[in-house]
Chains A and B, each alone.
Chain A
């Protein structure tokens, strides 16, 4: 999504064209409204397939359906009917589906439409009703938000909010046209006494039968078709069109949505945090929630069952895309031209981000992801680079190999560094077949690479944790020189984790605290209260990129996903937030202090669901957007440092 598009729809030719047309037809519409004939035939003016909602935090639990704009006489209606049989998820019952079904909501009932353009993933909209209620987000899996808005614009008055270019106000005559049409004033309170009995229902408007035929959807017990009033009626008093049953239906929807979204947030409503604190959370500059909660607040007091802003915040949350199967050899070829160049590196990174790699591809792709091989290199160039780099590696290795024992006797720093490495390689992943057993040659290769690296980057030297980072790389590359250079490339990103002054770790832990403050302020406040804001309990996660938290295969999967730098180069921090959020209820519920928390986090090792965590992390990253990025100080690893000069600060008093 282009940055400019986030804020200005007027760049869009479709939209600009429709704008003229729209204002013309609006005039026409207002006129004809006065002389409406409700029995005019209905016309489908817009139709979009693959518009979906996510009823739970599980992105796989998606209900897809068809979105339509239907015009009858001078009035416009919106319908969204889920497909039947497309969702194999057993957990989604027909009842769930019909719960979410939107059957002909007249635009006179719609206050605004909020558009969301995530940096990646699907565009979605949130439709906010005059009552202050909102439908769950509608995701446009096949695109078409622009056209949707343009079509609306052709039939009803749709103007951009002055406060937020992504909020489109529907029928906001007072603010925009300075017109005083008292008949269009939004209701102060929903007139519950006003039943549907005085409204005629024109079933043909809705093409209900056709919808059922198309999609086989059973309208179910929650059908509200009888509440679609006549357009004439709406033009005079939109409040009347909001029936009790509609409200009940939406209160169910919002309740369900709240329950399911709160699972993601692990929101414990009895945890003692006041609504005020929640509000602070909402207003923590999450751009969309901030703005959209403003919209809600305008109306929330007017409706007895209106969403509170907290609820809205949850509703506007988007879920990460479903994880995909790993990229396999056949698909991999598609990313390469005939000479082996990666033609679209972003598409490749995106693909790897969502699915990872088949193990047999890792050997070929990791070097590219890590930046050791350029994406635009050919097969031949990579082979050439490989041979050149092999010589270079041998030269550096030779530097320490040629140290005689007499020389070593007088070279304390070398002896100690070597000793430290030797102590660590024999306790690195020894239970793995690749490294197990006495005199395993791969242990010696680990040692040689680490010692060579400590000469290649003498200032940084060797630090505990490096052997953990090298182990999977050697396992995958299965070649000493190739593993060395991939490790070098990784250390370009993660080297500051091992700085003597620990500044790389401190900046990441600091950024993590800022992200938790943004994305979960009650948890942040809890940590603050318990004196846990140093986040040292996440130290191991960050230092070695969750290497000790997942089994070997999962670690490799996570790493290749992180290395894509796809939604953010700091996705690992969002992974931390995602895990903390998953256990926030337990952490706060059991009132864990620093010690207990550290123990708890350490013991999560082996129990974290990687795919679910990655989905959450992606969603959190997208939710946080620019506000998240702004909380991560420049130069925070794996970003390149701001000032190269002070990167590795050598201290004389320490030799290792």
Chain B
């Protein structure tokens, strides 16, 4: 497995419409921000290559439509995912409230081998808006939710200001890589106990 020259890691970005999914991805991959992104219709992805330790990985980051009505399409797009990134807007309570739904829906549709161990990451985006004054979801509230989901790593970001975006995606890549590693072992029939789960979580050191 380690002899593979390149590893493809599939990452799915989910969250309500307008929380900044496309912007985060474009900031990370193209180092650009635009106020004029169009609402994503259907799905699309961008790729980025990066080196993690001694491994060259290709991150394939999937962008999907944010409206709930399109969730049923997920089946086609979520399969084979290595990591799921949940995004909410710290200025919009509803986008935080629906995280539960996105989390649940993803697991239902992607149907990973071990749902409890599947890596998620939470991003609270748009912290730049109004100097933080219009914020309605506190950092503590977000972290509490992450803790309730098995210590999901949490990042506060601004796609517009390019704040914390690289760090967040590096963590995402590491989580995906760890998960991929775990899955390889899983498919080889080696007992799960061989993978220290806690260490994997801690790998992000967020």
Interface residues of A (CB under 8 A from B): 416, 419-420, 423-424, 427-428, 430-431, 463-465, 467-468, 498, 500-502, 534, 536, 539-540, 543-544, 548, 594-595, 598-599, 602, 654, 656
B42 adjacent to chain A (CB < 8 Å): yes
CB pair B41 A534 closer than 8 Å? no
A502-B72, A536-B73 known; A427+B37 contact, CB < 8 A: yes
CB distance from B176 to the nearest CB of A (A): 15
> How far apart are the CA atoms of A227 and B127 in the complex, in Å?
86
Q: List 22 A-B contacts (CB under 8 A).
A: A416-B94, A420-B67, A423-B17, A427-B36, A427-B39, A430-B35, A430-B36, A464-B41, A464-B66, A464-B70, A467-B39, A534-B76, A536-B42, A536-B73, A539-B42, A539-B43, A548-B38, A595-B60, A599-B45, A654-B68, A654-B69, A656-B67
A150 to B84, CA, bound (A): 71
> How far apart sit A540 and B73, CA to CA, in the bound complex (Å)?
12
Say yes or no for B77: interface residue by CB 8 A criterion.
yes
- Complex CA distance for A595 and B17, rounded to whole angstroms: 23
Closest to A500 in B: B69
Known: A424-B17, A502-B73. 16 other contacts (CB 8 A): A419-B94, A423-B39, A427-B36, A430-B36, A464-B17, A468-B38, A502-B70, A502-B72, A534-B76, A536-B42, A539-B42, A540-B41, A598-B44, A602-B42, A656-B68, A656-B69
Pairwise interchain contact B38-A543, C-beta atoms closer than 8 A: no
Cβ proximity bits B149-172 to A, threshold 8 Å, 1 near / 0 not: 000000000000000000000000
B112 on the A face (CB < 8 A): no
**Complex CA distance for A594 and B70, rounded to whole angstroms:** 19
Measured CA separation A229–B37 after assembly (Å) = 72
In the bound complex, what is the Cα–Cα distance between A602 and B41 (angstroms)? 10
Query: B178 → chain A, closest Cβ, in Å?
Result: 22
Q: Are A536 and B45 in contact, CB atoms less than 8 angstroms apart? A: no
Question: Chain B's nearest CB lies how many Å from the CB of A57?
Answer: 29
Residues from chain B with Cβ under 8 Å of A428 in the complex:
38-39
Partner pick for A463 among B18, B42, B69, B72, CB 8 A cutoff? B69
Nearest opposing residue in chain A for B80, CB measure: A595
Question: When each residue 63-97 of chain B gets 1 if its CB lies under 8 Å from chain A and 0 otherwise, what string results?
Answer: 00111111011001100000000000000101000
Contact flag A431-B69 (CB < 8 Å), given A423-B18, A539-B42: no
Tell which of B41, B45, B72 has the most Cβ of chain A within 10 Å.
B41
Closest 5 CB pairs of A and B: A423-B18, A539-B42, A540-B42, A540-B41, A536-B76
Query: Footprint of A on B, CB under 8 Å?
Result: 17-18, 35-39, 41-45, 60, 65-70, 72-73, 76-77, 92, 94
Residues of A contacting B42 in the complex (Cβ-Cβ under 8 angstroms): 536, 539-540, 543, 602
| B159 to A: closest C-beta gap in Å | 14
A498–B72 Cα gap in the complex (Å)?
12
Q: Is the CB of B76 within 8 A of A594?
A: yes
Residues A536 and B77 in contact, CB atoms below 8 Å apart: yes
> CB-CB < 8 A to B17: which residues of A?
420, 423-424, 464
A654 contacts which chain B residues (CB < 8 A)? Answer: 68-69
Residues of B with C-beta under 8 A to A502: 69-70, 72-73
Q: In whole angstroms, what is the CA distance A536 to B66 when docked?
A: 16
Closest to A428 in B: B38
The docked-state distance in angstroms from the alpha carbon of A654 to that of B71 is 12
**C-alpha gap A548/B39 in the complex (Å):** 11
CB pair B73 A463 closer than 8 Å: no
Q: Which residues of B contact A534 (CB under 8 A)?
A: 76
Shortest beta-carbon distance from A536 to chain B in Å: 5
Select which of B18, B38, B41, B60 is within 8 A of A539 by beta carbon.
B41
The residue of chain A having its C-beta at the shortest distance from the C-beta of B75 within the complex is A534
Shortest beta-carbon distance from B50 to chain A in Å: 19
Report Cα–Cα, A617/B35, bound state, in Å.
36
Chain A residues near B65 (CB, 8 Å)?
464
Name the residue of chain B whose CB is nearest to the CB of A426.
B35
A424:B39 contact, CB within 8 angstroms: yes
A540 to B65 alpha-carbon distance, docked (Å): 11
Please state if B73 and A464 are interface contacts (CB–CB under 8 Å).
Answer: no
A465→B36 CA distance, assembly (Å): 16
Task: Provide the residues of chain B in CB contact with A467, threshold 8 Å.
Answer: 39
Taken together as a complex, chains A and B put the C-alpha atoms of A539 and B94 apart, in Å, by 27
Q: Which chain B residues lie closer than 8 Å to A427 at the CB level?
A: 36-39
Distance between A460 CB and nearest chain B CB, rounded to angstroms: 10
B70 contacts which chain A residues (CB < 8 A)? 464, 502
Determine the chain B residues whose CB is within 8 A of the CB of A602 once the complex forms. 42, 44
Q: How far is the CA of A656 from the CA of B72 in the complex (A)?
A: 15
A498 CA / B67 CA spacing, docked (Å): 11
CA distance A500 to B35 in the complex (A): 29
Q: Which residues of B contact A536 (CB under 8 A)?
A: 42-43, 73, 76-77
Measured between beta carbons, the chain B residues less than 8 angstroms from A431 are: 36
Q: Which residues of A contact B43 (CB under 8 A)?
A: 536, 539, 598
Centre residue among B45, B68, B69 by max chain A CB count within 10 A: B69
How far is it, in angstroms, between the C-alpha of A595 and the C-alpha of B9 when the chains are bound? 13
A656: chain B residues within 8 A (beta carbon): 67-69
Of the candidates B35, B36, B37, B42, the one having the most CB atoms from chain A within 10 angstroms of its own CB is B42
Nearest residue (CB) in B for A416 is: B94
B66 — nearest CB in chain A belongs to which residue?
A464
Residue among A427, A431, A544, A548 facing the most chain B CB atoms (10 A cut-off):
A427
A465 touches B41 (CB 8 A): yes
User: In the complex, A500 Cα to B65 Cα: how many Å?
Assistant: 14
Q: Nearest residue in A to B47 (C-beta to C-beta)?
A: A599
| Chain B minimum-CB-distance residue to A537 | B42
Q: Of all chain A residues, which has the CB nearest B36? A: A430
Q: Which residues of A contact B35 (CB under 8 A)?
A: 430
Of A419, A423, A543, A599, which one neighbours B41 at CB under 8 angstroms?
Answer: A543
Interface contact B73-A548, CB-CB below 8 Å: no
A67 CA to B28 CA in the complex, in Å? 66
Point out the residues of chain A lying under 8 angstroms from B36, CB to CB.
427, 430-431
- In the complex with contacts A536-B73, A594-B76, A463-B41 CB distance below 8 A: no
Distance (Å) between the CB of B43 and the closest chain A CB?
7
Residue of A nearest to B8 (CB): A595
Could you say which residues of chain A place their CB within 8 Å of the CB of B45?
595, 598-599
**A463 nearest CB neighbor, chain B only:** B69
A539 contacts B73, CB within 8 Å? yes
Cα–Cα, bound, A654→B17 (Å)? 15
Question: Could you tell me if A463 and B44 are in contact, using CB atoms closer than 8 angstroms?
Answer: no
How far is it, in angstroms, between the C-alpha of A501 and the C-alpha of B69 when the chains are bound?
7
Q: How far is the CA of A267 from the CA of B77 in the complex (A)?
A: 30
Bound CA span A607–B154, Å: 40
Tell me if A464 and B76 are in contact (CB < 8 A).
no
Give the distance to chain A from B29, nearest Cβ to Cβ, in Å: 13
A416 to B68, CA, bound (A): 12
Q: Which residues of A contact B92 (CB under 8 A)?
A: 419
Write the nearest CB–CB distance from B62 to chain A, whole angstroms.
9
Find chain A residues with CB under 8 A from B72 CB: 501-502
A543 to B39, CA, bound (A): 13
B67 adjacent to A464 (CB under 8 Å): yes
Contact A463 B38 (CB under 8 A): no
A420–B68 Cα gap in the complex (Å)? Answer: 11
Bound-state Cα–Cα, A31 to B75, Å: 75
Inter-chain contacts of A539 with B (CB < 8 A): 41-43, 73
A184-B64 Cα distance, complex, nearest whole Å: 69
Chain B residues, Cβ within 8 Å of A599: 44-45
Whole-angstrom distance between the Cβ of A546 and the nearest chain B Cβ? 11
Smallest Cβ distance from B12 to chain A, in angstroms?
A: 12
Check B67–A463 contact: CB distance below 8 A.
yes
How many angstroms from the CA of A463 to the CA of B67 in the assembled complex? 8
